[in-house]
Amino acid sequence: MSTQNHNALFDALWNDYLAITPDAKAIHEEFKALGDDTIINDHIALRTFNEGAMNLENIGKHLEQFGYEAAGEYHFEEKKLYAKHFQHKTDEDAPKIFVSELLLEEFSAELQMFCRGLIAEANWNIRQNGLSLPSRPWGKVTREAYERLLEESEYAAWLAAFGLRANHFTVSVNKLKGMKNIEAVNEFLKVKGFELNTSGGEIKGNEEVCLKQSSTMANIVDWEFNGGKHPIRTCFYEFAERFPMENGELYQGFVAASADKIFESTNAA
Ligand code: OOG
Ligand code: NI
């Protein structure tokens, strides 16, 4: 099978993301004004369920068509998630893709039943039209269903509302010309009035683990539910600074303890 161009995939994901993440658009403009005409993304992230045509394994196969391969795996016991990250085989500047999936069988019978309804819709849709990114292969959920899910899993509620789309893009701080490190990025964002995720500290990770990360809290946007609009957290913007390993190469993986806190950037206000 011939490899499809990943730039078109990222353009579609970026436009979809910007439309519901006004902070990302504003911050992107601020960085550009400081002299960075192109901003390189370190990675993006997708969320999914561990069952059906859109589980992590099937998303992985979809990403292979764009030249990506699996490169690391991560477990999140408390949040009941499993994740892998994917790297492009030849384009070193291509963003990595972090894909996590919700371990449905570890949740209540009620949550499982509700989510399996969404998955059945997704299976039908994907059988007809194939898997596509970004997409929400099921209809609008009700606000009541969303709030029931929130009680058990912020992740499940977010996924039910938004589906398969980039829940964040991540600026590569190493490649920013206008900012010297992640500490400077955070100071800049705070002066400009953006809300940062402080779970586990403003900066997650350190030089020892070869990765420092920070993120905004997801924007709050009026979202169309089945039954009407209601404001909820959409997507966030992340910043990552990578450090060299003992062999001198920049670390390219993720750090589960830090990722665990980054997930909370979409937690309810
Ligand atoms: C992914 C959180 C993990 C990272 O950089 O560690 C992550 C998510 O919120 O879906 O992106
Ligand atoms: Ni991330």
Query: What distances in angstroms separate CA 234 from CA 111, 161, 164, 246, 267, one per listed residue?
Result: 21, 9, 13, 38, 10
Contact 125, 104 (CB under 8 A): no
Taking the C-alpha atoms of residue 156 and residue 238, their distance in angstroms, rounded to an integer, is 21
Average pLDDT over residues 19-46: 96
Look up the pTM and report it.
Answer: 0.98
Per residue in 148-178, pLDDT tens? 999 999 999 999 999 999 999 999 999 999 9
Taking the C-alpha atoms of residue 205 and residue 41, their distance in angstroms, rounded to an integer, is 19
Please state, rounded to an integer, the average pLDDT across all residues of the chain.
97
Q: Report whether pLDDT(116) > 80.
A: yes
Contact 137, 55 (CB under 8 A): no
Q: Retrieve residue 249's tokens.
A: 């190469």
Query: Ligand 1 center to residue 169 CA distance, Å?
Result: 10
Per residue in 172-208, pLDDT tens? 999 999 999 999 999 999 999 999 999 999 999 999 9
Q: What are phi and psi of 171, to 5 degrees?
A: -75, 130
Q: Percent of the chain, pLDDT > 70?
A: 100
Could you identify the atom of ligand 1 that is nearest to the CA of residue 47?
10
Could you identify the atom of ligand 1 that is nearest to the CA of residue 204?
6
- 45 CB near ligand 1 (under 6 Å): yes
- Kindly provide the ipTM of the predicted complex, given to two decimals: 0.99
Q: Report whether pLDDT(236) > 70.
A: yes
List the domain boundaries for the chain: 6-266
Could you identify the atom of ligand 1 that is nearest to the CA of residue 255?
6
Could you identify the atom of ligand 1 that is nearest to the CA of residue 100?
10
Residue 239 — very low, low, confident or very high, per pLDDT cuts 50/70/90?
Answer: very high
pLDDT at 1: 58
Taking the C-alpha atoms of residue 164 and residue 111, their distance in angstroms, rounded to an integer, is 19
Q: Is the peptide bond before 231 cis (omega within 30 degrees of 0)?
A: no
Average pLDDT over residues 223-248: 98
- 48 CB near ligand 1 (under 6 Å): no
Query: Ligand 1 center to residue 235 CA distance, Å?
Result: 11
> Which of these CATH numbers, 2.40.10.120, 3.10.180.50, 3.40.50.300, 3.40.30.10, describes 6-266?
3.10.180.50
Taking the C-alpha atoms of residue 188 and residue 196, their distance in angstroms, rounded to an integer, is 11
Query: Ligand 2 center to residue 44 CA distance, Å?
Result: 6
Contact 157, 149 (CB under 8 A): yes
Query: What distances in angstroms separate CA 251 from CA 1, 24, 159, 180, 212, one per listed residue?
Result: 31, 25, 29, 18, 11
pLDDT at 2: 73
Q: Retrieve residue 85's tokens.
A: 């990250």
Ligand 1 pocket test: which of 251, 252, 263 has the largest number of ligand atoms within 8 Å of its C-beta?
263
